[in-house]
Amino acid sequence: MIWRFKNTVIFILLLLFLFLVFTYAVNQNKIKTQNKTRDNLSDKPVVESQKDCVNKIEDRLVRGNSLSGLIEPGASVKILFGFYDCHEIKAGDIIAYNYSGNPEPLIKIVRAVPGDKFQLKRSSDDQNINILINGEIIKNSQNQPYLLDTKGYKMLSLYEKDYKGIIPKDTYLILGNLANGSLDSAHFGLIDKSDILGKVEF
């Protein structure tokens, strides 16, 4: 009788021991799974929002009149420095350009981007030269065609000849908003992407 009682006690203790071992193993597995999940989450690449490429935003006053009709002298604009580190530069964008020798960046409009076809053609009055981008005469915000004088024609005709009428990689045509020209690509030629400081918002 005593022997049977001892066996029963031993059996119960054994079952209890096995239950404790099983419970411990299950809990350990849960901990490993949680850690693995955390590790997997930490290994995922962090997707930055597109705003994160803007490293600085500055308010500036427009000093010149080259954008009159679109942005008037004295108007306040924001320059989003670094914007184009993760955004494509598009025709029509207003940009801040680092012009050599000028302490303040120039604010201009992108009129042609890499891959665009550009052509210089005499205006109907035979007095000035029009700029054609992809076969269309480009115009300012008042729907007036840009007109090149002799100096502007000589400058841009060099690019038209050298690049066979195609805007090359990382190169842009920028202009003001005055039909008769301003300090822009008609004076200093096509510009390099590396000199574009950021996007301008107004």
pLDDT at 52 over 90: no
How, if at all, do strands 56-61 and 76-81 pair? antiparallel
Rounded CA gap, 123 and 130, in Å?
Answer: 6
Domain definitions of the chain by residue range:
1-44, 51-201
Question: Quick one: pLDDT at residue 100?
Answer: 86
Rounded CA gap, 22 and 43, in Å?
Answer: 32
Q: Give the list of residues 6+ apart from residue 67 with CB closer than 8 angstroms, or none.
A: 94, 107, 108, 109, 176, 177
Model confidence at 114, pLDDT cuts 50, 70, 90, reads very high
Has this prediction a pTM greater than 0.85? no
Q: What's the whole-number average pLDDT of the chain?
A: 84
In 3-state terms, what secondary structure has residue 200?
strand
Rounded CA gap, 132 and 57, in Å?
Answer: 34
pLDDT at 98 over 90: yes
In 3-state terms, what secondary structure has residue 76?
strand
Contact 156, 186 (CB under 8 A): yes
In 3-state terms, what secondary structure has residue 109?
strand
Least confident piece of the model among 2-6, 41-45, 96-100, 129-133: 41-45
Contact 129, 153 (CB under 8 A): yes
Question: Quick one: pLDDT at residue 37?
Answer: 33
Q: CATH assignment of 51-201? A: 2.10.109.10
For the segment 18-45, the average pLDDT, to the nearest whole number, is 48
